[in-house]
Amino acid sequence: MTSTSLPIDATARTEPALPLGGLLALAMAAFITVLTEALPAGLLPRMSVDLGVSESLAGQLVTLYALGTLLTAIPLTAATQGWRRRPLLIGAILGFAVVNTVTAVSSSFAVTLAARFLAGVFAGLLWALVASYAARMVSERQKGRAMAIAMVGIPLALSLGIPAGTFLGAAVGWRVTFGIMSGLTLVLVGWVLARVPDFPGQPEDQRLSLTRVFLMPGIRPVLFVTLAFVLAHNVLYTYIAPFLGTVGLAGDIDVVLLVFGVAALASIWGVGVLIDRWLRELVLLSTALFIGVAVVLALSSGLSAVVHVSVAVWGLAYGGVATLFQTASAKTAGEASDVAQSMVVTVWNIAIAGGGLAGGVLLDTLGTRSFPWMLVLLLVPTLLVAWRAREHGFPPVPRR
């Protein structure tokens, strides 16, 4: 990947060069985090057989990961506000090496669940660091592009990492895949030491309470939209393997995940180009596209072409939302962006946990064909809340 593939604009000519080495190290951290989080979705049938549990119970490996994050992101972020940033970042990254190694060698479902919970703990801390780290590494006018570059690890994990991991898991076993992730994590530690600068923690007299940030105008709409959108995504994505099996595409899971990931990668590139001028419009468009996908999947008869096109549009709708929601939160909270970011991380992982739980219940009761209708029920209110948050949360950007 070269700098020519990253979003740029005319203002870049008068700004210092972006610290791509450091920003891409943050992107790699995001890549490993998303891969650790979502890989069980592609390997769910194999993991359930190997660990001796049902697919719906194996889906709780995603749920426990999310619970680890949502229960600890805010208290850990608050407790470590005064710590120097790079040692804290490296500690979170090394945590992934440990828990992914345990996952790779464990034959006990209970131990694997515990490892997934701890992985979520480290993820909550890392997500609270990445966005603010990227913003601190650049000038004020470069913050949007820097955050977009740091977030590029998300669609890369979805487009390349998870399909590759799913293929590798089918070829040599899912345990090898988790072991490889541990090796990548150790490489990343050296990269961070070489290219990511250190920053001091936040002085105590500048810290704001969670309550004050939560009551800021616009924060609650941003959190609601994040919660409902990501919940809808995870209801379907966590159980994508059984859903595809129902529509006769069980053998296409790696191709479907690749289609989704490539579309998501295109989405985050487009968001990086447009976010500074069209944030509100991009949030509304992403939500509307996702509603359309849900309706098509609900009404379709499982035709391969329809499913693949729907998944591509789903990827376009989802790929850039992490950058959109984090940027909206940062702009709304201002100086309190670190606290607001920990709230976004918590809400995001409540949605991941909720997706695993709700999807598991639907899978065991109504079947996978109920998934698209659940998405519609979640996404219509999401669109309405985002539309109404015109003054605060998702305001239009003044244009010259």
Domain ranges of the chain: 17-388
CATH fold of 17-388? Growth Hormone; Chain: A; (1.20.1250)
Any idea of the CA torsion for 295, 297, 301, 306, to the nearest 10 degrees? 110
Tokens of 226: 């994040």
* CA distances in angstroms from 190 to 63, 180, 339, listed in the order given: 31, 16, 28
Tell me the pTM: 0.74
Q: What is the largest CA-CA distance in the chain?
A: 61
Closest CA to 39 of 160, 145, 166: 166
Residue environment code for 76-104, b if the CB has 16+ CB neighbours within 10 A, otherwise e:
bbbebbeeebbebbbebbebbbebbbbbb
Tokens of 67: 């619970």
DSSP designation for 128: H
Q: What is the pLDDT along the chain (400 residues), one digit of tens a residue?
A: 333 344 444 444 566 788 999 999 999 999 999 899 888 877 888 888 888 888 888 888 888 887 888 788 888 887 887 888 899 999 999 999 999 999 999 989 999 999 999 999 999 889 888 877 887 888 767 777 788 888 888 777 866 787 788 888 888 888 999 999 999 999 999 999 999 999 887 777 666 777 888 899 999 999 999 999 999 999 998 888 888 888 778 777 888 888 888 898 888 889 888 887 888 999 999 999 999 999 999 888 767 888 899 999 999 999 889 889 988 888 888 767 777 888 888 888 788 878 888 988 988 888 888 899 999 999 999 999 999 999 999 999 776 5
- Distance, in Å, from the CA atom of 166 to the CA atom of 381, rounded to the nearest integer, reads 34
